[in-house]
Structure 1
């Protein structure tokens, strides 16, 4: 039957193929980013955050690209830690994707015909439910090497697996959209643009559960493209996972199944096409239909037929859901590389494979040996295939001899931290666990990119990484430190001997239950006895002898009275700081439990809480009935703010968002001195409230927009230490905020705050030159009653002016970080070294001239006696 022309026209208008980005719903990240920007602009707390690094253990690189025409120009995209660029072969790096609505990056692609054109696919491609898998809001594009960016639509994509750009026309690109990870959506599959991202066509779609994982364009015939689809959401069934081939530049696609594995166990599929033969392509398949899941298939006829290339099992992978990528040498299409937990190389088209290792040299010293595991992307230089770069969970590695040796660029502060802890030494040390880069510890001093940091591994596994989760330090004995890896594997370490032992609890032998843990499982040392510790899975355990023996003190708390809150295990655990035996546990689905008798009886008090992951529980130190809590829905595609407070031990809960952005909240912290002061670690930065959650303000305007995972306050120094998941560790000193609170917020007069004691840089022996690795800036902080000009001056004991600077002060707290240099000198003398003259040891007067006020403070400079 022929349909009327008018009907066909209506059908075409209702189901258009092109210009789709305007039809996709906007990501919640776009609106919450606008709220963040407004609060950043309006904050009265302009503290200047210090980056503490660390960099020795690096972080997970999701994508890597190098400009083949200028090989010193490299790009490394960290999963949740920004896109970094170097133009000097990796000596110095700059984050170039700042101040954007999204944190997660799935892929980047340089246009082969013009490498200054960069396409960026936002939203991580690693599908992991650990509360920090960052979604995105589509495609971004730069025409100037990352100096400026334009959002190019595909707002509802959330997670992007791959971008392929036409070899000669930079306006043509295809994108593999994975879609929402934890819920269904229709805006997934393969998209194509012919006009540089102005409009998009949805050219390949299977269903709302099947996303696109990979897409490649033939270099010798760009009309030929290969794409892989992955059915993974919700759940992992794989029935629709398959390869598709296009012979018309991506306009239409045909499923390619002849000889290719099919079934519910088919997972991620990576693709590569020969540079010289468009009909020759490879696929690396996560085939869970077989015990050894990694398989390589090859087609020689453009996807009409596929054949497995190898007889022996390819043992590179046990988690192909993570990566599953394959690459072909641009000058030899029999030379291929498969990425998984390990990297495998074949010189004969996949018949035989060998694992890629090689010698690893770190840019800065590191105890990590060997090439890190868990490989995300490989770049091969088309002009010199011996030159390669790989991004993996350990960072960026570059080789010039085809994997014989690698340079590890561990000089980028992009650590993905889960948790931090402080010890009680003076000066204190910071301990923290990271995503697959182990646990580290180090001093709270500013990171200097010109020098190796002073951080060390608390532990590192035999493969140069391992997930570091929770750290704890014995408050009475800083030589005793606890650390954990995934799923509750906690160990106690004697720092002097360097040896540790497992103290992970087990259910009693006669118990018929099953013990489960979340990936980052909480355990805590007691506030009242450093030898007492608690460990939380779906059951709660208590030890009174530092984990040598455990007692089960709960039933299975994953079973809620609300079926929708059925959980895996604990997401957070806390002990009251003022009442022994008052314990609190929250699960990954919003079930909250309390005991007031040290675990003898547990009561569920979940009514009014969302079905989200409880990440942070803070029983108040001022009121034993008050509890603060943060929950995140990131694991469930819920990007809302969930901060709650209870004034009656959880019987009733009240949402405490106030004017905070509607974005995920990760951690809440109570000030150790002022009851009404709270701190919140959010999806983008740290906020402070001085009215117990009624209103909030961004704390400092210099912290990058990054997810804050944990925070601690060192009570003697009043340092606020913040662990981020993507940009390492930062600190500020909240002493000035406490001065404001003591006088009454807000202040009604200009005020110069107390200046901390300062140590000038260490002076080296023999030539008396300065050790710049010990040159730290001092924060000078003052309150301005309005926006106005201000001048800072330093005078010596004879009232001689040594230094001054002009500041455009804003209303509220202002901070300037001074490098202590009072004079700079230049010289062409061949052996001249004293270019900077630092302020000498002694007492000085700091003067703040602001409006009609002249305010004075004392500045004491001490000599640094140790490096």
Structure 2
């Protein structure tokens, strides 16, 4: 078992260097101080933690590039013998009215009411109707993670991949560079900065649209690489760095050009590093910079600004109608808001304003925002990104919240062609105001880029679906394909399940196992279940809640202890000891030591299997009287994402694992055929990426959902085939199979919910010898045919 799983590091890292100095010619400096650090932000680390659960120190874009390449290769091979599998078409089910995190906006300068948005893990989208409906203009099989968008006066689009806000309820995936489209999104070409990991902002020289600046945030996990401010002087064909960060963990998050004097520019740098069990989201490199010669040289701005190392992420903006008016704010290195500043002389001097942490609405994670915006016509009218959208009418002397929009703000833009029209992107999607952002915000009506953790379908009717979404709660899709979905409670929506026999009974869970039971399809009244009714000391961000397939009145819920209900979730009894290696040494850190998945055998209710975040597998064949731990030497030691039991044999079960092999023999999919006593790797041939879900069908197929697609094999593994070629390359977090109709439903993290009909594969149920990939499997899966 990997020792690093059990504990979280706390305390502080110290870094010493030479005294601070300005370096005008190169943009480099060295600062002396210590860098405060902190444990992982509780709501922010679930997806990242499982992917680093082997103690790896990076979750790089390069790993995903390799995995996507392997996936594309598998798709290519699939089109031969497994044509029926490759030709299956995934159909988008929804939702279209929920939305998801939007990180940037670009307004078309030549086409009225046309704009483009960057969805955090859902690609680039275009609206032709002033922001009410959206269509994808990004290849579905490319990296879906986005950080920045810009459009030139002639209509050339630039997309920077990789999200620059780490964490915040979920993983933020890295990108693989900058892309350019000369035909408004119909086609794209990658044009550089492939090692930048995350592009946070673009700025285009108003005198020459071929001069484009890019703020590269860098790899969150690995120092070095392409970081800082880059310039292209040939429309994106090539790039060179013009502002070099002070150290290897600092990247650029803002670059702004003075519209009245384009020789004057500003940039924000952020010193941050993510480690397996610790984040350092501030340090000596966090700083503000100015150039007075169009980016050739830079000087750090310090007159009135802090110079110590307790600086987290900076936000900076200028007033378009008075560019000498600047606003800036900064968080602390461990997260909370620190201070707000104003300059009336172009950054020569700065004054701290009396804005308080409460007014800033930054909560404990100022690093999640780092943005502010100034009304183009009023230098005193300022908007600040926070949990709430905050607004000032007195030049940032005070702020008050703006109502009517979803939480967690990321981007705001004014339409220069329509007076008082503003657009806002946040964790809930897109909004438009025709009253200058003061109020009257209208939510987009069609935005199909929701980030889902889970999905369930009604056994009585697979057109009835429920799903849990990042920062968008539990949702009910009971209005058919394309129909509107409805919110049914929860904070972040995690496990949501429907009673197998009564679709009006729905269970929904927020983070850390705060769940409810509803007999009104998720509506009120709701009975609370979870911390007060079940026994556990720690609960996973996505606490497992499942029905016994033999009796829907029997349910299982697990924190670090498995709980069982025999009255459909009304009361609960503990049936296991602590199945983990114990909790973290830091009670404020991520609650390592939790059960992540549990499954009962469809043929034997006395047989249960459970997996944990610290890589343990357990089984019981007497309903919890005795629990048996699988020998850790047989397992990869990484986060167990899902267990599933064979539909015909309680002794056969499957377990899937997160993380990357990265050259090792660590498996992603394992099977037991002796009731849990021994386990064998059957995942060879799959792309090297986290496997998040597994489904064994009754007629011999094994289906897995991964970060890079959905794949099919026979029960005993062997050779794997790609299922369908049109599913967007967003992480597939959860699969649900409806046996009577052969409908497989996938919850993607950034592109909503999709359905596909599994083909019939005569011979796939044949028992095959293990460790012999391809023996008999090709014949079995090649015989698959459409329904």
Change over 3 Å in CA distance of 1:146–1:327 after alignment to 2:
same
Partner of 2:492: 467
Alignment partner of 1:590 is 2:625? no
Partner of 1:538: 560
Change over 3 Å in CA distance of 1:69–1:566 after alignment to 2:
closer
Partner of 1:347: 393
2:283 to 239, 245, 265: 239
Partner of 1:495: 520
Q: Is the contact between residue 327 and residue 341 of structure 2 (CA under 8 Å) also seen in structure 1?
A: yes
CA displacement 1:790-814 (0-9 Å, x = unmatched): xxxxxxxxxxxxxxxxxxxxx9878
Residue 491 of structure 1: how far off its partner (Å): 0.7
Alignment partner of 1:406 is 2:432? no
Residue 337 of structure 1: how far off its partner (Å): 0.8
CA displacement 1:252-294 (0-9 Å, x = unmatched): 333333333465653322211232555432113224789x726
CA displacement 1:697-730 (0-9 Å, x = unmatched): 2212232333222111212222222222222222
Alignment partner of 1:201 is 2:247? no
Alignment partner of 1:456 is 2:490? no
Alignment partner of 1:48 is 2:92? no
Distance, in Å, in 2 between the alignment partners of 1:206 and 1:309 is: 27
Larger Rg, first or second structure (1 or 2): 1
CA displacement 1:647-688 (0-9 Å, x = unmatched): 4455554433333333332212111x223x111212233222
Q: Is the contact between residue 659 and residue 689 of structure 2 (CA under 8 Å) also seen in structure 1?
A: no
Change over 3 Å in CA distance of 1:293–1:529 after alignment to 2:
same
- Tell me the SS of whatever aligns to 1:737: coil
Residue 469 of structure 1: how far off its partner (Å): 0.9
Partner of 2:98: 57
1:717 to 735, 741, 753: 741
Residue 67 of structure 1: how far off its partner (Å): 1.6
Partner of 1:333: 379
Change over 3 Å in CA distance of 1:274–1:683 after alignment to 2:
same
- Tell me the SS of whatever aligns to 2:65: helix
Residue 742 of structure 1: how far off its partner (Å): 9.0
- Tell me the SS of whatever aligns to 1:378: strand
Return 5+ residue gaps in structure 1 as ranges: 1-14, 18-24, 358-369, 448-452, 746-784, 786-810, 817-867
- Tell me the SS of whatever aligns to 2:518: strand
Partner of 1:670: 696
CA displacement 1:182-219 (0-9 Å, x = unmatched): 45444333333333333333332233333333222222
Distance, in Å, in 2 between the alignment partners of 1:385 and 1:106 is: 27
Q: Is the contact between residue 436 and residue 468 of structure 1 (CA under 8 Å) also seen in structure 2?
A: yes
- Tell me the SS of whatever aligns to 1:472: strand
Partner of 1:305: 349
Distance, in Å, in 2 between the alignment partners of 1:128 and 1:311 is: 25
Alignment partner of 1:628 is 2:654? yes
Q: Is the contact between residue 488 and residue 519 of structure 1 (CA under 8 Å) also seen in structure 2?
A: yes
Partner of 2:47: none
- Tell me the SS of whatever aligns to 1:531: strand
- Tell me the SS of whatever aligns to 2:381: strand
Partner of 2:214: 175
Partner of 2:38: none
1:366-515 alignment, distance < 5 Å: 370-384=404-418, 386-403=420-437, 404-426=439-461, 429-443=464-478, 445-447=480-482, 453-457=483-487, 459-460=488-489, 466-495=491-520, 498-506=524-532, 515=537
Residue 408 of structure 1: how far off its partner (Å): 1.4
Q: Is the contact between residue 131 and residue 634 of structure 1 (CA under 8 Å) also seen in structure 2?
A: no
Residue 432 of structure 1: how far off its partner (Å): 1.0
Q: Is the contact between residue 420 and residue 435 of structure 2 (CA under 8 Å) also seen in structure 1?
A: yes
Q: Is the contact between residue 330 and residue 338 of structure 2 (CA under 8 Å) also seen in structure 1?
A: yes
- Tell me the SS of whatever aligns to 1:487: helix
Change over 3 Å in CA distance of 1:566–1:585 after alignment to 2:
farther
2:723 to 699, 715, 719: 699
Bigger Cα displacement from structure 2, 385-394 vs 601-610: 601-610
Distance, in Å, in 2 between the alignment partners of 1:552 and 1:501 is: 19
1:222 to 254, 262, 268: 262
Runs of 4+ in 1 over 6 A off after TM superposition: 560-563, 634-638, 742-745, 811-816
Q: Is the contact between residue 130 and residue 519 of structure 1 (CA under 8 Å) also seen in structure 2?
A: no
Change over 3 Å in CA distance of 1:407–1:71 after alignment to 2:
farther
Q: Is the contact between residue 355 and residue 399 of structure 2 (CA under 8 Å) also seen in structure 1?
A: no
Change over 3 Å in CA distance of 1:397–1:26 after alignment to 2:
closer
Partner of 1:317: 362
Distance, in Å, in 2 between the alignment partners of 1:208 and 1:610 is: 32
Distance, in Å, in 2 between the alignment partners of 1:210 and 1:650 is: 47
- Report how many aligned residue pairs link the two structures: 697
Partner of 2:226: 187
When normalised by structure 1's length, the TM-score is 0.73
Residue 579 of structure 1: how far off its partner (Å): 3.3
Distance, in Å, in 2 between the alignment partners of 1:376 and 1:310 is: 23
Larger relative contact order (Cα-Cα within 8 Å, sequence gap ≥ 6): 2
Residue 741 of structure 1: how far off its partner (Å): 5.5
Partner of 2:62: 27
Change over 3 Å in CA distance of 1:587–1:96 after alignment to 2:
same
When normalised by structure 2's length, the TM-score is 0.80
Distance, in Å, in 2 between the alignment partners of 1:285 and 1:378 is: 19
Q: Is the contact between residue 471 and residue 493 of structure 2 (CA under 8 Å) also seen in structure 1?
A: yes
Return 5+ residue gaps in structure 2 as ranges: 1-25, 29-59, 769-778
Bigger Cα displacement from structure 2, 696-705 vs 46-55: 696-705
Q: Is the contact between residue 70 and residue 687 of structure 2 (CA under 8 Å) also seen in structure 1?
A: yes
Distance, in Å, in 1 between the alignment partners of 2:472 and 2:273 is: 28
Distance, in Å, in 2 between the alignment partners of 1:323 and 1:100 is: 29
1:577-656 alignment, distance < 5 Å: 577-605=602-630, 606-610=632-636, 612-633=638-659, 642-648=668-674, 652-656=678-682
Change over 3 Å in CA distance of 1:653–1:336 after alignment to 2:
same
- Tell me the SS of whatever aligns to 1:446: coil
Residue 384 of structure 1: how far off its partner (Å): 4.6
Q: Is the contact between residue 182 and residue 637 of structure 1 (CA under 8 Å) also seen in structure 2?
A: no
CA displacement 1:559-616 (0-9 Å, x = unmatched): 27999x9935333332333333433333334333444444445444333544543222
Change over 3 Å in CA distance of 1:387–1:90 after alignment to 2:
closer
Change over 3 Å in CA distance of 1:81–1:501 after alignment to 2:
same
Q: Is the contact between residue 317 and residue 326 of structure 2 (CA under 8 Å) also seen in structure 1?
A: yes
- Tell me the SS of whatever aligns to 1:29: helix
Distance, in Å, in 2 between the alignment partners of 1:219 and 1:608 is: 63
Q: Is the contact between residue 611 and residue 617 of structure 2 (CA under 8 Å) also seen in structure 1?
A: yes
Q: Is the contact between residue 554 and residue 564 of structure 2 (CA under 8 Å) also seen in structure 1?
A: yes
CA displacement 1:783-839 (0-9 Å, x = unmatched): xx9xxxxxxxxxxxxxxxxxxxxxxxxx987879xxxxxxxxxxxxxxxxxxxxxxx
